[in-house]
Amino acid sequence: MPAVKDSMRGLAVFISDIRNCKSKEAEEKRINKELANIRSKFKGDKALDGYQKKKYVCKLLFIFLLGNDIDFGHMEAVNLLNSNKYTEKQIGYLFISVLISENNELMRLVQQNLKNDLASRNPVHVNLALECIANIGSKEMAEMFAPEIPKLLVMGDAGDTVKQSAALCLLKLFRTAPEMVPIGDWTSRVIHLLNDQHMGVVTAAVSLIEALVKRNPDDFKGCVSLSISRLARIVTSSYTDLQDYTYYFVPAPWLSVKLLRLLQNYPPPEDTTVRNRLAECLETILNKAVEPPKSKKVQHSNAKNAVLFEAISLIIHMDSDPSLLVRACSQLGQFLSNRETNLRYLALESMCLLATSEFSHDAVKRHQETVVTALKSERDVSVRQRAVDLLYAMCDRSNAEEIVGEMLTYLETADYSIRGELVLKIAILAEKYASDYTWYVDTILNLIRLAGDFVSEEVWYRAYAAKTVFEALEAPACHENMVKVGGYILGEFGNLIAGDARSSPSTQFQLLHGKFHLCSPPTRALLLSAYIKLVNLFPEIREDIIAVLESDANLRNSNVEIQQRASEYLSLARNSTQDVLATVLEEMPPFPERESSILAQLRKKKPAVEDAIRVRARKAAAEAGRQLRPHLPLAVARGVKLQGDIAGAESNTDSDLLGLDFGGSAPAAAAGGGGAGGGSVDLLSSILDVGVSSSSSSSAAPSAASGASAQRKTVVVGAGASGSIVGEENWHKFVCKNSGVLYENDILQVGVKCDYQQSSGRIVVYYGNKTPAPLAQFASVINLPDSSLTNQLGIQVKPVGDRVGASEQVNESSEMDSATFFQHWKQLSQPEQECQKIFQAKFPMDAETTKTKILGFGFSLLSNIDSNPANFVGAGIVQTKSGNIGSLFRLEPNQQAQMYRLTVHSIKPGVSKRLCELLETQI
């Protein structure tokens, strides 16, 4: 672009005046004066020259960027497009890109000017038109100009800047409307831009080709050899050869990364010469990574590492050169102990993919001890999660017990944000690499003991050790999942331990029935199925079980599933002979091998890694002549007929008996969800919800990954706590209201009601039992954060009953007239007393809804204060123990831009900022 020396002194003076304004009112007054002046110039003086039009259009653009509406001047901006001067045409296009919408009636004139400039012989005009098209980037623009822009891209006499702008403009239109970009003869010619002498053209062309390749890879196969050739020239050159494109002694790092990514869209080259040249390039990159740094600045290491990690990604994608894979693993291992958190994270993530390769799997296993140390000592939860992923990926038969043991140890203190996924990984590894049943059963039971809330149906169905379960059920405190496991196993295999006097038939039944009243309806339904199984195994306790089945608590239960099972099982127990019972309730037969449903759950969370692991496992299985995992004759199934209905699923011979997703069938219904009733709710899965919602977050770890949510039986209430079952929006809604439901599921409803009197407040938490039966042994615990905030607020916890009556709502507001308001407003104009924010509206901009939220917040709305009736003006008092803090606010909505400008003035420094932040979350 040509150098321009045009100061536009009038614009500079106007900007200086705005910056020197002492208050918002003074700024608005100056802006209104300028708008009036510009309007009069446009309407009255018809002899404005290009410079004056440009100056006034610039002022309008600046005023718009300050957050004000501009409803005139658009035609003047369009007229600037007809100018032959670069600066005037540039300002015209800039104004159009920012202020004129796609549906504006002036867009037809703009499009005509764009066509004229694209056909111009002046490359500056062509560039300005291409930039405007890309900035607007609408579907209409794509439809009109997408067929024309490729011609500029491959035109022989087009300048380098035009080719560069054309490539980037076409990329923007392709991303907006890919169907509008025609694929024709130009596609084969655009590939040759990779050989262009101008590095800027090559960089832009690579970005365009990479996007096009994802849509039509076969049309761009020729780019592979050209990309390798260009990459070889970059990596073998010194930083002095490409001075204009060298970044902190690293030659063209951005172009190198783009070329490496482009090559990952294709398999390794078939041509031996091309493949060897690519291997040499990758070796050169690996060699340069271990050279002493040429600069101590972080930009140098960042650029070098960016190229290195992308090269390693390409090595993993090719998966054909063992030496390169092992070298890549070795260099990644050095990053595991790097003090930079981001490098440790990237190293763990890349090694997860390396572990899936048969060539580098053993090399990755050498770093097992380092990864375990990272799992125990790493401060960032996202890095710990990657460490878990890597341990899972590197696990095989030789180290399965050690890795599973480390994972179980970590599970005791693991963040709630990764517990659900960690439980799935442990269960999969235990099932896949079980060397004997004892280790497998102990692992699953430990899993339930340590993280029962996160153990899904598919996991607990795999625990099949009657003696171990019986001993576990004897514990005073027993998790409901353990009761489900015990009910199933004792119903199927209780006869195996009945010879021991300590586990006689009567003792087994009493042990199970002792937990019956503490369980949710789905678990009770499962236990009834276990009881009828016991009738078949132990005829001597038939009468005891019949007495339970015919009790009103079961036959007349409000839960349809329990009522139906009790009725049908009672009829079966009374009227059937022992031969009929033995046939109907016989032990479940083994079922065919198939893919694990918990593995399918994990694949949904990490599809790329899991698919890669499956490929490696199948390769290994094919070589060894065996199946993917050892056959564990775990006799359990759901559906088919009554002996398989311990969980009560519907009869269906094609059903997924264990939720293992075999043959493409859908996972089986949750326990207790079948039968003719079909209406019972799986309350346990609504609490555990593994695989449906992510696990809860941990505020202690500084990671973006800590924002996930999960459902737990324990409701954690507190700003610093992991409110997993209470979404962020549930907390925020209490900023503008004093009562409401905090959490609700099929069993429990938790509500909050607050009332405030001056500097004192009371928060009442109430619990509602939604089940027909009482909640036994129910208790609530309030944990106060151990921080200075607790002492400042003077929090006192008062124990109350299970239900607390509602209290009245009190808002502390303030009333005043216009004169009083502006008097206080000006008095509170010090920088530390004022806070102003301009932000996008998070909700529909409805005046009544906004008014309700402001009143709920505690402010009073003052009428006839602001000259603009659409604005909200109000006042309020923050009452504390040490005194009252007066606050004023002004909220200015901009319907066209869907934005707000909020200004808060407060007597005490810091209060206005906090009030501003809270109000922003609500509107």
The DSSP secondary structure of 177-237, one letter per residue, reads -GGGS--STHHHHHGGGGG-S-HHHHHHHHHHHHHHHHH-GGGGTTHHHHHHHHHHHHHTS
46 is in an annotated binding site: no
pLDDT at 126: 93
Residue 588 and residue 458: Cα distance in Å, rounded?
17
What the block records as the tokens of 894 is 């901009």
pLDDT at 897: 78
Question: Residue 140 and residue 131: Cα distance in Å, rounded?
Answer: 16
Query: 313 is written with which tokens?
Result: 């990604």
**Neighbouring residues of 71: CB distance < 8 A, sequence distance ≥ 6:** none
- Confidence class of residue 603 from pLDDT cuts 50, 70 and 90? low
Q: What are 90-114's pLDDT values in tens digits?
A: 999 999 999 888 778 888 899 999 9
Is 56 within any annotated ligand binding site?
yes
Across 42-70, average pLDDT: 87
Tokens for 754, please give them.
């607050």
Question: Which residues are paired to 837 by β-bridges?
Answer: 902
Average pLDDT over the chain, rounded to whole?
76
User: Which residues make Cβ contacts (< 8 Å) with residue 449, sequence separation at least 6?
Assistant: 472, 479, 482
Beta bridge partner(s), residue 765: 752
3-state secondary structure of 898: coil
Q: Considering only residues 528 and 499, tell me which one the structure prediction assigns the higher pLDDT.
A: 528
- Distance in angstroms (rounded) separating the CA atoms of residues 281 and 141: 41
Q: What are the two backbone dihedrals, phi and then psi, of residue 496, each rounded to the nearest 5 degrees?
A: -70, -20
Order the strands of the 748-757 sheet from edge to edge. Answer: 739-744, 748-757, 760-769
Whether 170 has a pLDDT exceeding 90, the answer reads yes
Lowest-confidence segment of 371-380, 500-509, 713-722, 908-917 by average pLDDT: 713-722
Whole-prediction pTM? 0.54
Query: What pLDDT score does 132 carry?
Result: 93
Give every CB contact of residue 416 below 8 A, 6+ residues apart in sequence.
Answer: 695, 696, 697, 698, 710, 712, 722, 724
Q: pLDDT higher for 121 or 700?
A: 121
Highest mean pLDDT among 445-454, 602-611, 845-854: 845-854
Q: Which of 320, 304, 311 is nearest to 263 (CA)?
A: 311
Kindly tell me if the per-residue pLDDT of 129 is higher than 90: yes
**Range 229-248 average pLDDT:** 82
Residue identified by tokens 């100009």 is 145
Residue 364 confidence (pLDDT): 92
Provide the pLDDT for residue 840.
86
Q: Looking at the predicted structure, is the pLDDT value of residue 210 above 90? A: yes
Most confident among 124-133, 418-427, 435-444, 764-773 (mean pLDDT): 124-133
pLDDT at 567 over 70: yes
| Amino acid residing at 619 | K
CA separation for the pair 592, 835 (Å, rounded): 67
**How much is the pLDDT for 802?**
40
pLDDT of res. 367: 92
pLDDT tens digit sequence for 57-90: 999 999 999 999 988 888 989 989 988 899 999 9
Shortest CA distance to 142 belongs to which of 102, 109, 202?
A: 102
More confidently predicted of 715 and 702: 715
Cα–Cα distance measured from residue 350 to residue 372, given in angstroms and rounded to the nearest whole number? 17
pLDDT tens digit sequence for 869-898? 888 888 888 877 667 888 888 898 988 778
Binned at pLDDT 50, 70 and 90, residue 778 comes out as low
d(CA 219, CA 497): 68
Q: How far apart are CA 529 and CA 559, in angstroms?
A: 15
Count of C-beta atoms within a 10 Å radius of residue 464: 21
Q: How many CA atoms are closer than 13 Å to the CA of 18, on its beta-carbon side?
A: 16
Q: Among 419, 525, 537, which residue's Cα sits nearest to residue 480?
A: 525
Which tokens go with 613?
Answer: 């692991």
3-state SS, one letter per residue, for 591-633: CCCCCCHHHHHHHHHCHHHHHHHHHHHHHHHHHHCCCCCCCCC
659 is in an annotated binding site: no
pLDDT in tens, 494-507: 665 666 677 788 88
Confidence (pLDDT) at 480: 81
Q: Which of 297-311, 517-531, 890-904 has the highest mean pLDDT?
A: 297-311
d(CA 165, CA 212): 17
The answer to which of 41-50, 431-440, 574-583, 724-733 has the lowest mean pLDDT is 724-733
Check the annotation: does 410 bind a ligand.
no
CA distance 462 to 444: 8
**Strand 760-769 to strand 748-757: parallel, antiparallel, or no bridges (unpaired)?**
antiparallel
Residues contacting 235, CB < 8 A, separation 6+: 251, 256, 281, 284, 285, 288
More confident residue, 513 or 459: 513
| Stretch among 364-373, 385-394, 511-520, 588-597 having the lowest mean pLDDT | 588-597
Reported as a single tens digit per residue, the pLDDT across 313-343 is 999 998 888 899 999 999 999 999 888 999 9
Question: Is 53 annotated to bind ligand?
Answer: no
Q: Residue 225 — very low, low, confident or very high, per pLDDT cuts 50/70/90?
A: very high
Q: What is the pLDDT of residues 269-279, one digit of tens each?
A: 989 999 999 99
Choose the most confident range, by mean pLDDT, from 23-27, 529-533, 763-767, 798-802. 23-27
Spatial distance between the Cα atoms of 653 and 660, rounded to a whole number of angstroms = 14
Nearest to 469 by CA among 491, 454, 453, 450: 491
pLDDT digits 0-9 by tens, 174-204? 999 988 888 777 888 888 899 888 899 999 9
9 is in an annotated binding site: yes
Please give the share of the chain, as a percent, with pLDDT higher than 70. 72
57 is in an annotated binding site: yes
Q: What is the pLDDT of residue 303?
A: 92
Say if residue 707's pLDDT is above 60.
no
- Judged by phi (left if over 0) then psi (alpha if -120 to 50, else beta), residue 137 lies in left
Closest CA to 475 of 443, 440, 514, 532: 514
Q: For tokens 């098209």, name the residue.
A: 133
Assess whether pLDDT exceeds 60 at residue 539. Answer: yes
- For 144-183, b/e burial (b = at least 16 CB within 10 A) is bbbeebbebbbeeebbebbbbbbbbbbbbbbebbeebbee
Write the CB contacts of 65 (distance below 8 Å, at least 6 apart in sequence). 98
Sheet holding 884-894, edge to edge: 834-840, 899-906, 884-894, 872-879, 860-861
Q: Which residues contact 417 (CB under 8 A, 6 or more apart)?
A: 381, 385, 694, 695, 696, 697, 698, 701, 705, 706, 707, 708, 710, 722
Question: Alpha helices, DSSP H only, in 695-846?
Answer: 728-732, 788-793, 818-827
Residue 612 pLDDT grade (very low, low, confident, very high; cuts 50, 70, 90): low
Position 709 pLDDT exceeds 90: no
Task: Give the mean pLDDT of 626-644.
Answer: 30
Q: What b/e sequence results for 333-352 when a residue is b if at least 16 CB atoms lie within 10 Å of its CB, and e otherwise?
A: bebbeeeeeebbbbbbbbbb
pLDDT at 653 over 70: no
Instruction: Say which range, 85-89, 543-547, 767-771, has the weakest mean pLDDT.
Output: 767-771
Kindly report the number of other CB atoms within 10 A of residue 87's CB atom: 18
Cα separation, 130 vs 164, whole angstroms: 10
Give yes or no for residue 859 having a pLDDT over 60.
yes
Q: Is the pLDDT of residue 439 over 60?
A: yes
CB atoms within 10 A of CB 536: 23
**Token pair listed for 887:** 């606050």
Q: How confident is the model at residue 346 (pLDDT cuts 50, 70, 90)?
A: very high
872-879 and 860-861: which strand pairing?
A: antiparallel
Which residue would you say has higher pLDDT here, 729 or 13? 13
The answer, yes or no, to whether residue 828 has pLDDT greater than 90, is: no
Say what the pLDDT of residue 2 is. Answer: 46
Contact 721, 715 (CB under 8 A): no
